[in-house]
Structure 1
Amino acid sequence: MTSTLYLVRHGETEWSRTGRHTGTTDLPLTEAGEATAHGLAHVLADLDPSLVLTSPRLRARRTAALAGYGEAQVEDDLAEWDYGDYEGLTTPQIREQVPDWTVWSHPVPGGESAEDVATRLDRVVDRVRSVDGTSLVFAHGHSLRALTARWLDLPVAEGRHFHLDTATSSVLGDDRGQSVVLRWNVPARG
């Protein structure tokens, strides 16, 4: 059985535009975010996915709808990393208290650990790998980067190597039995 996984990061929100960590806060897309999310329909036009999932957050669900996948099933395991006490803060603000902090290398007080994130994203990987064909997921920057690491059988912290812009698509798959990145960070077209 061959599985291909398309990843779509949601369109821009006010907090993603300003670099604020947005885990559980349910923000709408900005006007620009709506436009680029709609542009994803062109990038995804030739897909005929067997499975379409979305994070429960409004920004991901709205991106899915604007991209032509309003029927996407809500999957709680695709939610963004829970940033706990760091919700709404930027990395420079957090680093005023914890020098060199990153979500990949340091604890998140009141939020999720890397192990928690790995556990729930492993369930997504298992679900996608049980589908013969193409799956499509709409989610968030850190959760998709962590999902990529888990697809590649790497620790969640290795997600730090996969920069991901808003309103982009990426493709994961297999090459002769090896999990691989087929395309990465493809922008929407207007």
Structure 2
Amino acid sequence: MNVFVIRHGETEWSLSGQHTGTTDIPLTDSGRRQAERMRPVLARHTFALVLVSPMQRARETCDLVGLGAAAIGDPGLIEWNYGEYEGHTPQQIQAKRPGWLIFRDGCPGGETPSQVGARVDQVVTRVRAAKGDVALFAHGHVLRVLAARWIGLPPRAGQHFLLNTGTLSVLTYYHEVPAVRVWNGHAAD
């Protein structure tokens, strides 16, 4: 089994560095091109299951790679709820709360790392029950937690998995041990 983990393409807020959780914004033209570049790579595979965050930036990415018709919305893949930090950049947050780290501290009025981890664990259970390859379309922070949970690490370990927009990663198994095959790759990788 290979789990193709796709972070949506660029948005205006990912470009500016603003935390985009519940704000439902579209891809930029560049973000659409990022998604389209993944189409030939994903077209070489057959998927037993395609899950997508209900947010339009993830759905649009899924549609542009040609898997939208097969996709099932999964609220477990929605981005971290940033609460009071929604729309703020890391620099703005650090000015108010020096030393803040989302994977340790969570967000006031939003989600804690353990809450995101619990959501992601449900997605991982669903993925592991699939009979074949899976594609997941979602967002940066939630997918970083997913990578950590896939290999048995706590949600806070997501801090070690940097993830750019419009990227393709692959989770799999090494014998029976959950493993990361590719992380933060581009369609040409």
Do these two structures clear the TM 0.5 threshold for a shared fold by scoring above it?
Answer: yes
1:137-166: CA deviations, max 9, x gaps? 000000100001110111011011111111
Aligned equivalent of 2:182: 183
Q: Which has the higher helix share?
A: 2
Please say if residues 105 and 113 of structure 2, whose CA atoms lie closer than 8 Å, have aligned partners that are also in contact.
Answer: no
Secondary structure of the structure 1 residue equivalent to 2:105 = coil
Give the length in aligned residue pairs: 187
Q: In structure 1, what is the Cα distance between the partners aligned to 2:187 and 2:92?
A: 30
For structure 2, the 5+ residue unaligned runs are none
- After TM superposition, give the deviation of residue 107 of structure 1 in Å: 3.2
Contact 1:11–1:29, Cα closer than 8 Å, also in 2: yes
TM-score by length of 2: 0.96
State the match for 1:91 in structure 2. 90
Gaps of 5+ in 1: none
Counterpart AA for 1:126: T
1:31 counterpart = 2:57 = no
2:134 maps to 1:130: no
- What is the identity, as a one-letter code, of the residue corresponding to 2:113? A
* CA-CA distance at 1:67 after TM superposition: 0.6
Q: Where does structure 1 differ by over 2 angstroms across 4 or more consecutive aligned residues?
A: none
Distance 2:80 2:136 in 1: 16
Match of 1:157 in 2: 156
Residues 167-190 of structure 1 deviation map (CA, whole Å, 9 limit, x = unaligned): 11000011111110011111135x
Percent identical pairs in the alignment equals: 47
Alignment partners' CA distance in 2, 1:117 and 1:37? 25
Alpha-carbon RMSD: 0.9
Could you tell me how far apart the structure 2 residues matched to 1:107 and 1:139 are?
19
**Aligned AA for 1:180?**
A
**Distance in 1, Cα, partners of 2:181 & 2:126:** 20
> Cα distance, 1:4 vs. partner?
2.1
TM-score normalised per structure 1: 0.96
The aligned residue for residue 64 of structure 2 is 66
